[in-house]
Amino acid sequence: MSLTLIYKGKNVSFRMRMQKAQWLPIASVVLLGAVWLISSAVSDSGETDHVRQQLLASKDEYSAEKERLMRIKQTTEHQLSALTLKLGEIKGQVNRLDAFASRVAEQASIPNDEFNFDLVTGTGGPSTEDVGDVYQRTDELFSEMDEMLVKLDGQERKMAVLESILLNTHIEQEIFISGRPIRSGWLSSYYGVRKDPFTKMPAKHKGLDFAGEEGADVIATGAGVVTWADSRYGYGNLVEIDHGDGVITRYGHNKELLVNVGDLVAKGQNIGRMGSTGRSTGPHVHYEVLKRGKQIDPLPYVYRKAE
């Protein structure tokens, strides 16, 4: 078997005849080269696809990370805005508190040098880190917050001392027993021996009776702690208040009780409604003052002036 090659050019033409033994090795080499080129192309294509897939995966991961960072940035900006507004509100409240405390200190005649709320409280101590590094890491917002915390710490201490002074100044006025246990009504029975309204026999009356309209206010004649708020034989619905220093007041025959045991009551506070419960002939308040556990005449306390 032979192979004939014919070439015709513009100015050249030739014919070559080759036997099988001559062209077969050449054809084999050409065929092997073609196979290698095709294999290389396929291999390169596979590697390209793999790289492309990795690139797409990295791109998706980058896009997701970018989205996440944008959300974090937006959230942080919103939080910083809210924090800035809150800091402004706190500043306003502190300024109002300073003004109020200064007026109170002035009215209470407290030395201005000790309670000058415009001065920053002296504080200090050794630094645990380089000042330059601190300023580099702390932005303006957090610097303002630190200043506010220092100021609030000083003002809180001053207010605590001021409160203690004012409390000690007014506590004696609050627990000072004085006045009537009613807002409206009249004194209907005095302390001492009288004719018992039930037996018609002489008997010791250990308090004062104040008559009035049913449901009228019954008030505390001094500040103290409620030690009894319930029914008691003879007294009906009774309120008992301990004013300290061995002084106790009692308010009997209430239609309704407005306080409970353990309550702190202020001078003039409503503690009940006038009624006729217990051993009573009509709406009134049976008022007693006890000193060291013994009833004494409440009349001097009723008529003495409040401090």
* Residue scoring higher pLDDT (165 or 209): 209
Asked if 117 and 160 sit in the same domain, the reply is: yes
Identify the bridge partners of residue 273 per DSSP, sorted by sequence position.
Answer: 217, 256
Type and span of the H or E element at 290? strand 284-291
Residue 295 lies in a domain: yes
Mean pLDDT of the chain: 75
Asked if 299 and 193 sit in the same domain, the reply is: yes
pLDDT at 145: 72
Residue 124 lies in a domain: yes
Q: Read off the tokens for 150.
A: 């220092």
CA pseudo-torsion sign 291, 297, 302, 306: negative
Q: Read off the tokens for 160.
A: 């605590």
Where in the sequence is the domain holding 125, given as residue range(s)?
78-175
Q: What is the mean pLDDT of residues 30-38?
A: 64
pLDDT at 38: 61
Flag the least confident range among 35-49, 91-105, 245-259: 35-49
* Residue scoring higher pLDDT (61 or 24): 61
* Residue scoring higher pLDDT (140 or 233): 233
Q: Which residues contact 281 (CB under 8 A, 6 or more apart)?
A: 197, 198
**Most confident range, picked from 10-19, 98-107, 166-175, 256-265:** 256-265
Rounded Cα–Cα distance for residues 246 and 119 (Å): 44
Asked if 293 and 193 sit in the same domain, the reply is: yes
* Residue scoring higher pLDDT (53 or 208): 208
pLDDT at 125: 42
pTM exceeds cut of 0.75: no
Residue 181 lies in a domain: no
Asked if 52 and 101 sit in the same domain, the reply is: no
Domain boundary among 144, 175, 206: 175
* Residue scoring higher pLDDT (188 or 5): 188
pLDDT at 1: 57
Residue type, 84: T
Domain boundary among 19, 46, 69: 69
Residue 282 lies in a domain: yes
Confidence of residue 24 (pLDDT cuts 50, 70, 90): low
Does 305 have pLDDT greater than 70? yes
Asked if 48 and 84 sit in the same domain, the reply is: no
* Residue scoring higher pLDDT (147 or 259): 259
Rounded Cα–Cα distance for residues 249 and 177 (Å): 9
Q: Read off the tokens for 53.
A: 């897939």
Residues 151-177: tens digit of each pLDDT? 666 666 666 555 555 555 555 566 688
Q: Return the HEC string of 218-239.
A: EECCCCEEEEEEEEECCCEEEE
- Identify whether the C-beta of residue 155 lies closer than 8 Å to the C-beta of residue 117: yes
Residue 82 lies in a domain: yes
Backbone angles phi, psi at 198, to 5 degrees: -105, -45
Residues 90-102: tens digit of each pLDDT? 766 666 666 656 6
Residue 180 lies in a domain: no
- Identify whether the C-beta of residue 288 lies closer than 8 Å to the C-beta of residue 206: yes
Type and span of the H or E element at 4? strand 2-8
- Identify whether the C-beta of residue 236 lies closer than 8 Å to the C-beta of residue 275: yes
Q: What is the mean pLDDT of residues 115-136?
A: 47
Q: What is the mean pLDDT of residues 67-71?
A: 78
DSSP string, 99-168: HHHHHHHHHTT--TTTS-TTSPPP-----SS-HHHHHHH--HHHHHHHHHHHHHHHHHHHHHHHHHHHHH
- Identify whether the C-beta of residue 1 lies closer than 8 Å to the C-beta of residue 27: no
